[in-house]
Structure 1
Amino acid sequence: MSQEKIAKEMFLPAEVDATKSEEISKPSLNYWQDAWLRVKKNKGAIVSMVILVLLTIMALVGPLLTNYGIDQQNIKHNNLPPRIPVLEKVSWLPFDGELTRKNGDVYNAYEMKNVDNYYWLGTDSLGRDIFTRLWKGTQVSLYIAFLAAAIDMVIGVLYGAISGFVGGRTDNFMQRITEILVGIPNLIVVILMIIVMDPGILSITIALTITGWVGMARVIRAQVLKLKNQEYVLAARTLGLSNGKIISKHLVPNLAGVIIINTMFTIPNAIFFEAFLSFIGLGLQPPLASLGTLIDDGFKVLQLYPYQMIIPAIVISLIMICFNMVADGLRDALDPKMRD
């Protein structure tokens, strides 16, 4: 058998280009770019973001898509089931305008009442269009969400940062105030607001402003106590930076991840708080609409017209679940140490 000859060039050392020895093959990423890459790997968080964007768009545009007002009543068209053009011809979809009696008989409510209009999500007991009222109610929930986020980021962050950074008697005094506010339930604050003013979105706003920021303030204080003795803070103080500059330039940017995470977890609680108050009659009053009032109205006729409660319940569940999923994704991306 003939043996294969091995070329001498294969035994020579490899030529290494010294100019490329320290070349970085991937582009350098800052903190936020790296965090966004981790968020994109979380499919649940991305899907939740898309759903929240769609719900926000519908909350703004939805009431304009129909010719019905939020408080426009038509008793002759009361308790009509959902009916959507084209989709009404699909037998397995519940958009054909049919209802089922207690004895099991199925009938077309629109034909029985001689109604030619289309109500995409049906009507309530007063003949008001649920589609319009649903997206108006979603606007209230999103308003509460952004209000809670703003209160947390402004009042909670500033209060906690000042308390933790200054320390001493100032910290003791400020923490006694937060302990008093923590001991007062939000429901008691809302009831006190209702005694002073009429029940509604204003009383809920004031209640959230009084007590909604306490949790964020305590978290930020704990983080500031940990960070204020770090080397970069001591260096900044040595260079003559004022306390305000140190808080705004050094501490707050390093607290951004904690702030965003806690804010995202606060939002679902605030939405549920408003819905609960509206459900028990302490929130928005008729004819105004919120998801809580819609669920309350639908609960009263659940056995006869279940769609009146199921539809707003699905929307508020989607909002709360999506915010929680986004919060989980941001927590894993911004602060991997907080993973369970």
Structure 2
Amino acid sequence: MTDIDPLLDPTGRIEPVRQAIVGGRSLWDDARARLFRNKAAVISMWILGVIVIIAVFGPMVWVNDYKEISDLRTIAPTIEGWHILGTDIQGRDLLARLMIGLRISLMVGVVATAVSLVIGVTWGATAGYLGGRIDNFMMRIVDVLYALPFIFFVILLLTVFERNIVLIFAAIGAIEWLTMARIVRGQTLAIKGKEFIEAARASGVSRRAIILRHILPNVIGPVAVYVTLTIPVVILAESFLSFLGLGVNEPLTSLGVLISEGAKTMGEKPWMLLAPALTMAVTLLCLNFIGDGLRDALDPKER
């Protein structure tokens, strides 16, 4: 293409247009632009970023340790001793425990979601692509696991083995992958008959390579959306277990443990419940807004 004479383009508008036409924009560029136009999602990302920074670095720099026991038991929020949110029944600083509890809850959400992502995507993509009897057999296993009550499965694991945070990760992730597998299987069934899959198969590409190079990259959109919506579900599941006394062991804590402890004294000392409950509500709202923004940005109908 020949250069454009500046005299014919005194406004300087033609050249940027020509460059845009030549360069083009990918689908991911369009999705990113739509995501950043979603004000709720952008604000939620900033707030969630601040929450993550507080959870990671807060316990390291705060003046009070979350394990330190004192005689100042269940005092109201005060500047004295930097007990800004007060103390619990054992005299431990509530702000320090809130930050470490936020860290544990986020860790459970991220790790358990990662476990469900790896198992669910692999299982669903394999079942959907192979089809036939293998697909039927693999999905019947999913149906059987779906029939088991979630809380019964977790209590069984925690009863047989000792209660620890790693087991909580495994127990929650071992349940949440079931929905992920169904979503990926459905997406795989929709695209495995496409022309590019047939071309790869005709050229001698192995099944494993087709799944890894062609199937999985094309299901990443729905999977990314579901991941952002799974993290809040996992955090709530861990909080529910902690509320029942099946969560993390002392001196560690989580948002669910803090809410459970605060609920016992909410009549006389409401601040012990309000702080962890408000923190959880804001975190879950941010994750849901980000998930909704990703869903809208990656919607093929909007491209």
TM-score normalised to structure 2 length: 0.90
Q: Does 1:277 align with 2:272?
A: no
> Structure 1 residue aligned with 2:151, among 187, 190, 195?
187
Corresponding residue of 1:206: 170
Q: Does 1:245 align with 2:196?
A: no
CA shift for structure 1 position 299: 0.8
SS in 2 for 1:286: coil
SS in 2 for 1:117: helix
Corresponding residue of 1:315: 279
Superimposed CA distance per residue, residues 114-143 of structure 1 (whole angstroms, 9 cap, x where no aligned partner) = xx4221221112110011110111111111
CA distance in 1, matches of 2:50, 2:149: 34
Q: Contact 1:148–1:266 (CA<8 Å) still a contact in 2? A: no
CA distance in 1, matches of 2:182, 2:126: 11
CA shift for structure 1 position 245: 1.4
Q: Contact 1:261–1:331 (CA<8 Å) still a contact in 2? A: yes
CA distance in 1, matches of 2:122, 2:277: 36
- List aligned pairs for 1:1-340, cutoff 5 A: 23=18, 25=20, 28-75=24-71, 77-84=72-79, 116-337=80-301
Q: Contact 2:55–2:100 (CA<8 Å) still a contact in 1? A: yes
CA distance in 2, matches of 1:217, 1:145: 18
CA distance in 1, matches of 2:191, 2:215: 7
CA distance in 2, matches of 1:247, 1:256: 12
User: CA 1:129–1:257 in structure 2 vs 1: closer, same or farther (change >3 Å)?
Assistant: same
SS in 2 for 1:23: helix
SS in 1 for 2:62: coil
Superimposed CA distance per residue, residues 72-92 of structure 1 (whole angstroms, 9 cap, x where no aligned partner) = 1112x11222234xxxxxxxx
Superimposed CA distance per residue, residues 247-273 of structure 1 (whole angstroms, 9 cap, x where no aligned partner) = 111111111101101111111110000
Superimposed CA distance per residue, residues 91-124 of structure 1 (whole angstroms, 9 cap, x where no aligned partner) = xxxxxxxxxxxxxxxxxxxxxxxxx422122111
Percent identity over the alignment is: 39
CA shift for structure 1 position 286: 2.9
**Which ranges in structure 1 are unaligned for 5 or more consecutive residues?**
1-14, 85-115
TM-score normalised to structure 1 length: 0.81
Q: Contact 2:109–2:232 (CA<8 Å) still a contact in 1? A: yes
CA shift for structure 1 position 148: 2.8
CA shift for structure 1 position 200: 3.6
CA shift for structure 1 position 149: 2.5
CA distance in 1, matches of 2:92, 2:19: 63
Greater RCO, CA 8 A, separation 6+: 2
CA distance in 1, matches of 2:62, 2:229: 34
Superimposed CA distance per residue, residues 266-301 of structure 1 (whole angstroms, 9 cap, x where no aligned partner) = 111100000011011111233321101111111111
Paired residue type of 1:262: Y
Q: Contact 1:186–1:207 (CA<8 Å) still a contact in 2? A: no
Structure 1 range deviating more: 179-188 or 329-338: 329-338
CA shift for structure 1 position 239: 1.4
User: CA 1:336–1:310 in structure 2 vs 1: closer, same or farther (change >3 Å)?
Assistant: farther
CA distance in 2, matches of 1:264, 1:211: 17
CA shift for structure 1 position 336: 4.6
**Larger gyration radius, structure 1 or structure 2:** 1
CA shift for structure 1 position 168: 1.2
CA distance in 1, matches of 2:65, 2:188: 50
CA shift for structure 1 position 68: 2.2
CA shift for structure 1 position 302: 0.6
